[in-house]
Amino acid sequence: MEVTRYAVGLDIGTTKIVAMIGRENDYGKLEILGVGKSKSLGVHRGVVNNITQTIQSIQQAVQEAESVSGLKIEDCVVGIAGQHIRSLQHSDYITRSDSEEVINEEDLDKLCNQVYKLVMLPGEEIIHVLPQEYKVDGQAEIKEPIGMYGGRLEANFHVVVGQVSSIRNIGRCVKSSGLDLAGITLEPLAAANAVLSQEEKEAGVALIDIGGGTTDLAIFKDGIIRHTAVIPFGGNVVTEDIKEGCSIIEKQAELLKVKFGSAWPGENKDNEIVSIPGLRGREPKEITLKNLSKIIHARVVEIIEQVYMEIKNYGHEEQKKKLIAGIVLTGGGSQLNHLKQLVEYITGMDTRIGYPNEHLAGDSDTEVASPVYATAVGLVINAIEQQKKNNPSPSIKTEKKEAKKETQQEQTEDNESTPQTTEPPRERKSFLEKWSEKLKDFLDNAE
């Protein structure tokens, strides 16, 4: 029996951990074979703070995905987020020894590897180096310099940085759960892969992924990632506020938010009331929906304003950097009633809710096409992209495993930094291989 090639994405979130198995069907679309979901206990604001609990949650999600699909999960691509992520712009150049020869991939590799040598703050590490555009001998705005003549090659880079300890903790959890780490990807980039169309990325768009513990932002313009940010607030702080404001337990606050919550107080009449059973022998509590939505509104406005500040930092108000396609909201928090209207009101930008159905096969389960699974779908897409690079023809599982070990982590940058056509596919392999081996050695020694 021939082994079909499948890939696994693992989304380690603050509220839930999702393991998703998928493969590419004959039409190049993503077919989801199994999804496992578990409550995330050891993660706070996108960062692992309890290794044992996180490992248990990962194993639970993986087992569920395995039993649904009947497949064995061996390795996965993991998403990383959290308040320790920051990004910066950096430009660098190399002078080529022989300007008679055309620029090739090695030159681009050399330039990118040079960026990886940037001196970071203690305890920080570069996760992604995403080229924006290149300059050859002072000629600007070149998207693809390969094949051109020139002595001086320079480029602007979008560099994403994270804390070494947080990245290693995630690696540790995955390894202790019995899985191999096939790659690490920034979560907003994975979500963008799942919900944005190529046209939106060209026109200029801001993707806002509202999760439980963090709100992730990724801005694209001219098909290239321009800005990323992770804001350490998400749906959980809204639940906390309801819990405090109405003096109820967290479970009830979450249910209230999901069932009756609205981000726009004007929508509710004064006489709409929800009755909540009291704790053990106490009187039930009555809460007006107007008050509930006022509490939600105050906190959501705060989150959106922080995100909007990041969009302004990117330079949205300059004519050349204008985001014509506006904002796309995804993640579990995007399902809050009237959120789209509120975002449009605060930012003045066109807004839509992003469903990860851009790449899904037509017969996919409707549940998987929910914004809640956007990041997981994006991670599976990444894992498939990576497999294609490592191992071009579908093969028997043992070979696949070896091929994957060889080129452990090259994928993370390539397929999001620019549309597929403009990035050389094998770029920056050398450095990331080393990085990944280093991480593997570290984890092996730690045991």
Reading phi first (left if > 0) and then psi (alpha if -120 to 50, else beta), residue 70 is in left
**Predicted pLDDT at 446:** 59
Reading phi first (left if > 0) and then psi (alpha if -120 to 50, else beta), residue 104 is in beta
**Predicted pLDDT at 358:** 80
pLDDT in tens, 247-281: 899 999 999 999 999 999 877 777 889 998 888 88
Same structural domain for residues 68 and 25?
yes
Read off the pLDDT band of 366 (50, 70, 90).
confident
Give the residue, 393 or 133, on which the prediction is more confident: 133
Burial 374-412 (b: 16+ CB within 10 A, else e): bbbbbbbbbbbbbbbbbbeeeeeeeebeeebeebbbbbb
**pTM tops 0.75, yes or no:** yes
Q: 162 — phi, psi (to 5°)?
A: -140, 170
Same structural domain for residues 29 and 178?
yes
Same structural domain for residues 98 and 78?
no
Read off the pLDDT band of 435 (50, 70, 90).
low
The DSSP line for 57-82 is: HHHHHHHHHHHHHT----EEEEEE-S
pLDDT surpasses 90 at 307: yes
Task: Kindly state the average pLDDT of the residues 354-373.
Answer: 86
Same structural domain for residues 346 and 241?
yes
Q: Count other C-beta atoms under 10 Å from residue 275's C-beta.
A: 10
Give the residue, 445 or 349, on which the prediction is more confident: 349
Same structural domain for residues 325 and 405?
no
- Helix crossing, 289-314 with 235-246: angle to 10°? 150
pLDDT in tens, 194-246: 999 999 999 999 999 999 999 999 999 998 889 998 998 999 999 999 999 98
pLDDT in tens, 120-145: 889 999 988 999 889 999 998 898 99
Q: How far apart are CA 308 and CA 166, in angstroms?
A: 27
We report the CATH number of the domain holding residue 137 as: 3.30.1490.110
Same structural domain for residues 210 and 343?
yes
Read off the pLDDT band of 392 (50, 70, 90).
low
Same structural domain for residues 137 and 77?
no
Average pLDDT value for the chain: 85
Residues with Cβ within 8 Å of 46's Cβ and at least 6 positions away in sequence, in order, are: 13, 14, 80, 81, 82, 83, 187, 211, 213, 214, 230, 232
Residue carrying structure tokens 């203690």: 122
Q: How far apart are CA 415 and CA 381, in angstroms?
A: 10
pLDDT surpasses 90 at 76: yes
Same structural domain for residues 289 and 141?
no
Total count of domains within the chain: 3
- Write down which residue in 326, 356, 386 finishes a domain: 356
Q: Which of 214, 178, 181 is nearest to 10 (CA)?
A: 181
Read off the pLDDT band of 411 (50, 70, 90).
very low
Same structural domain for residues 251 and 349?
yes
**Predicted pLDDT at 440:** 65
pLDDT surpasses 50 at 397: no
Element (H, E) at 96: none
Q: Count other C-beta atoms under 10 Å from residue 135's C-beta.
A: 18
Task: Look up residue 438 and give its two tokens.
Answer: 């280093």
pLDDT in tens, 341-362: 999 999 999 999 999 988 888 7
**Predicted pLDDT at 219:** 94
Percent share of the chain, pLDDT over 90: 56
Range of the domain at 281: 199-356
Q: How far apart are CA 259 and CA 349, in angstroms?
A: 27
Read off the pLDDT band of 157 (50, 70, 90).
very high
- Write down which residue in 115, 140, 161 finishes a domain: 161
Type of residue numbered 255: L
We report the CATH number of the domain holding residue 173 as: 3.30.420.40
- Write down which residue in 307, 334, 356 finishes a domain: 356
Same structural domain for residues 59 and 182?
yes
